Amino acid sequence: MSQDAGRNGGDGGNAGWDPAIADLDGFRRAQRLAYRCAETIAAQLRPGITEREAAALMQRWLAANGANDCFHQPFAWFGDRTAFRGFIGVRHLGGFNPAFYPGGRKLEKNMPYILDCAPTLQGYTADIGYSGCLGSNRILEKLMDDLLEYRQLILDLVRQRKHLSEISQAVDRLCARHGYEPRHKAYPFQVLAHRVEKLEADEGRHLSILNFGVRNIGKLVGDLARGRREGWSPLWSSGQPSDHPPTPGLWAVEPHLGFRGVGAKWEELLVVTAEDAFWLDEDVPQVRRWSSRGLLPLAQAA
Amino acid sequence: MGTDIKPPPQAQTLRVRSGEVELAIKVYGAADQTDRQPLIVLVHGYPDSSQVWHKVVDPLSARYRVAAYDVRGAGDSSAPAHTAAYELDHLVADLAAVADAVSPEQPIHLVAHDWGSIQGWEAVSTARLRGRIASFTSISGPSLDHAGYWVMQRLRSGAPGELAKFANQLMHSWYIGAFHLPLAAPLAWKLGLDQLWPKLLERFEGIHTESSPSQTRDGQQGLNLYRANVARRLLAPRERRTSVPVQLVVPTRDRFVSLELLEGIEQWVERLWRRDVGAGHWLQLSHPELVVRYVSEFVDFTSGGEEPAGLHRAQVRGFGEAAARGRYAGKLAIVTGGGSGIGRETLLALAEQGAEVVAADIDLAAARRSAELAELLGATAHARKVDVGDAKAMEAFAAWVAAELGAPDLVVNNAGIGMAGSFLDTSTADWDKILHVNLWGVIHGSRLFGKQMVAAGKGGHIVNVASALAFTPTRMLAAYATTKAAVAMLSDCLRAELAGQGIQVISVCPGVIDTPITGSTRFVGVSEEEQKRRRDGARRLYQRRNLKPQAVAAAILKAIEQRKPEVLVGSEAHGARLLSRLSPALTRRLARMELSL
């Protein structure tokens, strides 16, 4: 794990970003909190629970554990909604589809689920995605295995300083080769990733509108405006606005794969510095899973 | 059935007493053959006699001992005095008497059709013949008790879909009600239905036979089978389970038994195989070689032999949902270019519905990946590296399929490459390249597998992927459009040729589909850089259109189900077809346009 990024003074590129070790630790704490939340609530899921109830459990857990703001309030998707099938997959209003929000779908045995939460802890925001299944699901297992390749591909290409749109297109091609649907295309603005920024640390509760945290979205809008002046975009997709080298900063990367009625994703913060890039934390559930399945050493040797 | 058909010379005629009747049995197969050879007993249905098996006894008796008998009241067997004597208990007793006479020690292999099969179910699921039946091949005749449960389950569920299935079966069974009418049905046989019968068979079933001397009596007496059993069993069905291995041979165009009636049958049978054939009710007359092959494979396997690939594919595994077999269960599908795009999606759609699939692709890794995905969907899948335009490679591939998997049921000739640019810029080498894949690939695939399918005699589907450009001329895609027009014409001609064989040929004409082909299309007459620029332009255009290969796969499956000769995918394909018919002049005019990418 490269925790020495703070050494990298540099000019921080167009964003002028210089990650301090203290800041990265803060983000790492927020990401660990988010993953602990997902794992805790995942362990409590039982057949019959609805998406809305699961999302509420996460929300309560986060609040009880110190989160006082969010990028977005927790999402939960069950069954074929994990693959964004049906109405939820309709792209309109730039992908702001109301079906995106947790609904009344009940969890059943062997059904895949995705929990996605983005808490802010002392001004540091994380955004994570966690896939699982109550029982067993061969397709989900395969998707989760294959998601490893995406984590490596994205990091490799960012380190090669490929343009973000090119990297996103490489992800699209990998999906095509795998035979999966890139379901992050159904996200708002078809994003593979988006920026997160540090907020003021305070104790108060903060406002969310339509499940999105006002302060974090405000930062994103600020980034959009700044990016427009400086020639980059905080919304990383395959399109023209992302046709620029990796911008230093923190990116919440979220490849989301779908095959038939099953979807899976992970979401992690990627630290991009002026010259390098690394995943904020290697101690995350998906990496532990790949490691326990013996996929990691093989892939690293390859 | 015909009067001119005499039993082969080695047939030996026996008469056996069973209760109040005497049964006529013909035993085929050389007497000097060892008794250890499997013995097959053939049981005919209504309104037939044992003559209905005349096309299969010869080939079967070359390898097995074969006994065919006339059911009580039919052919040369005597008839009992009362309707009650036609109850299934008596019919099973008859079969037992036959089995004891022809094979006192060894268990028999039972092959039965129609009412014979109904008796067969009773025999394998009741105590009288326990341990005496080694295997049962059932053609077009369900157990009445299973049918009774089936009806009860449909009615109880009350779901509209289930009730519709019941209504459908009722429509298939109109004649059963008619058979219960006093006087009318027997009178019909007396008043000339017997003479008319071969004509009806020819007219409605496409089977050529001659009138049998016992036809009037077979038709009349056999009505008692219905009268003695149907109402009783359907209204008060009993549980009928069996541990005898059962092979269902199902004619899918049967006018008398609906396919839905077989739903859930796996709950009653421990070891079940099911083979669907696109044919009508009298399979042993319309497809005798097929019946002989299926029976031989099953008899050999249940006698301890190997399980051929086709039989293995036909085994029904699991119960209820797990056994809820897709439409293509037991079928073998070959897809060329199965490693990506339309090929992969069609392969997966077939796999999802139960087919065993073979992905053939020039890119073995891609084919393997498709096979892996198909396996995730629960299918048996194979991957092979093949250059479809290479005659030797395709012959070797087809030979491998024939040897390892048996003749395919579906062949999707999909492999193709793209090429854009003007005709005058297209070099001979370019032409060789595109004709090699787009046309020769389809020729080899259609020819080699078409031959296998005809030889197997079970019908099937050949799907050739052409393009909407097959009927849309354009100066921009001269070579590509030419190959696709050739594929469409090849399919049209082949369709005519194979129509009589039960093989459906479908040409698929997709419009603008977003597949990896855009990324590898060769643009003739331009620099590498310009080619890259145009590829990117084409890819963006195709992505904006956003029509996915899944849509083509879905259209192909629908065309197969609805037996359509041609399928257009995308509004642009429909529009172009309409325009080419309404105004060829405008089509020619538009062909001159050049789109800058």
ipTM, two decimals: 0.89
Question: Could you tell me if B354 and B221 lie in one domain?
Answer: no
Whether the bond between B408 and the residue before it is cis, its omega within 30 degrees of 0, is no
Question: Could you tell me if B361 and B399 lie in one domain?
Answer: yes
* Residue B3, in any domain of the structure: no
Q: For residue B469, which phi and psi values (nearest 5 degrees)?
A: -70, -10
Yes or no, beta carbons of A260 and B377 under 8 Å apart: yes
SS3 (DSSP) at B436:
helix
Question: Could you tell me if B99 and B217 lie in one domain?
Answer: yes
* Residue A6, in any domain of the structure: no
Question: Could you tell me if B315 and B339 lie in one domain?
Answer: no
Yes or no, beta carbons of A259 and B370 under 8 Å apart: no
CATH number of the domain bearing residue B293: 3.40.50.1820
SS3 (DSSP) at B384:
strand
Yes or no, beta carbons of B369 and A259 under 8 Å apart: no
- Closest-CA residue of chain A to B339: A177
For A109, the domain range is 16-301
* pLDDT score of B30: 58
Q: Please, which pLDDT band fits residue A96 given cuts at 50, 70 and 90?
A: low
Closest Cβ opposite residue A178 in set B369, B377, B516 = B369
* pLDDT score of A302: 47
Sheet strand arrangement including A256-259: A181-182, A256-259, A262-265
For B233, the domain range is 12-323
C-beta of residue A127 within 8 angstroms of C-beta of residue A138: no
CATH number of the domain bearing residue A207: 3.90.230.10
Question: Could you tell me if B340 and B288 lie in one domain?
Answer: no
pLDDT in tens, A2-41: 444 443 333 334 445 667 777 999 999 999 999 999 999 9
Domain final residue pick, B279, B297, B323: B323
Yes or no, beta carbons of B369 and A139 under 8 Å apart: no
* Residue B217, in any domain of the structure: yes
SS3 (DSSP) at B352:
helix
Chain A partners within 8 Å of B373 (Cβ): 179, 259
Cα of B554 to nearest chain A Cα, Å? 13
DSSP output for chain A: ----GGG--S--GGGT----HHHHHHHHHHHHHHHHHHHHHHHH--TT-BHHHHHHHHHHHHHHTT--EEEEEEEEEEGGGGGT-GGGG---GGG--GGGS--SPBP-TT-EEEEEEEEEETTEE--EEEEEESS--HHHHHHHHHHHHHHHHHHHHHHTT--HHHHHHHHHHHHHHHT-EEGGGGSGGG-SEEEE------SS---EETTEEHHHHHHHHHHHHHHHHHT--SEE-SSGGG-SPPPSEEEEE--EEEETTEEEE-BEEEEE-SS-EEES-S-SHHHHHHHHTTHHHHHHH-
Domain final residue pick, B286, B305, B323: B323
The total of other beta-carbon atoms located within 10 Å of residue B424's CB is: 10
* pLDDT score of A204: 86
Yes or no, beta carbons of A142 and B370 under 8 Å apart: no
Closest CA to B282 of B58, B135, B117: B117
Question: Which position among B64, B69, B149, B480 bears the catalytic label?
Answer: B480
* Residue A9, in any domain of the structure: no
Tokens 């190959």 found at = B483
* Residue B53, in any domain of the structure: yes
Closest CA to A232 of A210, A249, A213, A208: A249
Measured between CB atoms, does A259 come within 8 Å of chain B? yes
Q: At what angle do helices B391-404 and B441-456 cross, to 10 degrees?
A: 30
Chain B partners within 8 Å of A178 (Cβ): 369
What is the rounded distance in angstroms from the CA atom of residue B350 to the CA atom of residue B327?
9
Q: From the first residue on, what is the mean pLDDT of each consecutive set of 10 residues in chain B (597 residues)?
A: 50 91 90 72 94 94 94 93 92 95 93 94 93 96 86 82 81 75 77 81 79 83 87 85 94 82 85 89 92 95 92 79 70 97 97 95 98 95 98 98 95 96 95 98 98 91 97 95 98 96 95 88 90 88 87 96 95 95 94 82
Question: Could you tell me if B295 and B378 lie in one domain?
Answer: no
- Which residues of chain B approach chain A closer than 8 Å at the C-beta? 340, 344, 348, 352, 366, 369-370, 373, 376-377, 516
Question: Could you tell me if B418 and B314 lie in one domain?
Answer: no
Q: CA end-to-end span of chain A, whole Å?
A: 19
Chain B interface disruption, residue of A177, A181, A243, A259, most B CBs within 10 A: A177
What is the rounded distance in angstroms from the CA atom of residue A39 to the CA atom of residue A266?
13
Pairs of CB atoms within 8 A across A/B: 19
Tokens 């808490």 found at = A119
- Closest-CA residue of chain B to A261: B377
Chain A partners within 8 Å of B516 (Cβ): 176
- Closest-CA residue of chain B to A173: B516
Total structural domains in chain A? 1
* Residue B514, in any domain of the structure: yes
Tokens of B571: 């509004």
* Residue A201, in any domain of the structure: yes
Total structural domains in chain B? 2
Measured between CB atoms, does A177 come within 8 Å of chain B? yes
Tokens of A194: 């988006």
* pLDDT score of B213: 81
* Residue A7, in any domain of the structure: no
Cα of A228 to nearest chain B Cα, Å? 23
C-beta of residue A78 within 8 angstroms of C-beta of residue A49: no
Q: Which residues contact B277 (CB under 8 A, 6 or more apart)?
A: B249, B250, B251, B252, B283, B287, B290, B458, B459
Question: Could you tell me if B54 and B163 lie in one domain?
Answer: yes
Question: Could you tell me if B463 and B376 lie in one domain?
Answer: yes
Residue B28: active-site member: no
Counts for chain B of helices (H) and strands (E), in that order: 24, 18
Chain A interface disruption, residue of B368, B375, B376, B542, most A CBs within 10 A: B376
- Closest-CA residue of chain B to A260: B377
Closest Cβ opposite residue B376 in set A138, A176, A177 = A138
Chain A partners within 8 Å of B366 (Cβ): 177
Tokens of A158: 């960012």
Measured between CB atoms, does A29 come within 8 Å of chain B? no
Question: Could you tell me if B317 and B339 lie in one domain?
Answer: no
Chain B partners within 8 Å of A260 (Cβ): 352, 377
Chain A partners within 8 Å of B369 (Cβ): 177-179
* Residue A36, in any domain of the structure: yes
* pLDDT score of A4: 42
Cα of A176 to nearest chain B Cα, Å? 8
Chain A partners within 8 Å of B537 (Cβ): none
Question: Could you tell me if B497 and B565 lie in one domain?
Answer: yes
Q: Please, which pLDDT band fits residue A42 given cuts at 50, 70 and 90?
A: very high
C-beta of residue B166 within 8 angstroms of C-beta of residue B155: yes
Closest CA to B502 of B206, B200, B249, B168: B206
Question: Could you tell me if B411 and B535 lie in one domain?
Answer: yes
- Closest-CA residue of chain B to A142: B376
Domain final residue pick, B271, B305, B323: B323
* Residue B7, in any domain of the structure: no
Measured between CB atoms, does A92 come within 8 Å of chain B? no
Per the DSSP assignment, residues forming a β-bridge with B21 are B18
* Residue A216, in any domain of the structure: yes
pLDDT in tens, A132-189: 999 999 999 999 999 999 999 999 999 999 999 999 999 999 999 999 999 998 888 8
Between the alpha carbon of residue A80 and those of residues A114, A288, B303, the distances in Å are 11, 26, 46
CATH number of the domain bearing residue B422: 3.40.50.720
Per the DSSP assignment, residues forming a β-bridge with B568 are B509
* pLDDT score of A3: 43
Tokens of A178: 């795998």
Question: How many residues does this entry show for chain A?
Answer: 302
Average pLDDT of the residues in A234-244: 94
- Closest-CA residue of chain A to B371: A179
pLDDT in tens, A250-287: 999 999 999 999 999 999 999 999 889 999 999 999 99
Yes or no, beta carbons of B340 and A176 under 8 Å apart: yes
